[in-house]
């Protein structure tokens, strides 16, 4: 299944895509070398496809975008942050389920 609904977020587009989003935004902070991040990726992809139109979903590589990761104190990956109205509404560190991610979004 293509992850066309998952945006690639980086230091340059973070503010315009995430903070200014009119929909809740679930952002998955990860890294290519991280095993649990790879395990979480298909769960995030599936959720993105199911929530199209209700929420936005993106992934950010902490090695490629260290400024954004540092701004939110991301110390371990995977970390998922949910943004609502430009602010962090919830946070979860580590591997999780699609149901838990949906609950984080409040959907």
Torsion angle of alpha carbons 86, 41, 47, 85, nearest 10°? 0
Tokens of 72: 């939110």
Q: Please, are residues 78 and 95 in contact by the beta-carbon 8 Å criterion? A: yes
Q: Which residues are identified as catalytic? A: 34, 37
Query: Whole-prediction pTM value?
Result: 0.94
Is the pLDDT score of 102 beyond 90?
yes
pLDDT interval class at 5 (50, 70, 90): confident
pLDDT of amino acid 4 = 67
Question: Which fold is adopted by the domain 6-105?
Answer: Glutaredoxin (3.40.30)
């Amino acid at each position: 299944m293509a992850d066309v609904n998952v945006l690639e977020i980086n230091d340059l587009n973070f503010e315009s895509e995430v903070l200014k989003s009119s929909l809740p935004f679930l952002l998955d902070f990860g890294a290519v070398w991280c095993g649990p991040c790879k395990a979480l990726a298909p769960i995030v992809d599936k959720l993105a496809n199911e929530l199209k139109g209700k929420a936005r979903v993106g992934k950010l590589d902490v090695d490629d975008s260290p400024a954004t990761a540092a701004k939110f104190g991301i110390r371990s990956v995977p970390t998922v942050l949910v943004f609502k109205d430009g602010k962090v509404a919830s946070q979860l560190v580590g591997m999780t389920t699609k149901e838990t991610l949906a609950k984080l979004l409040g959907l």
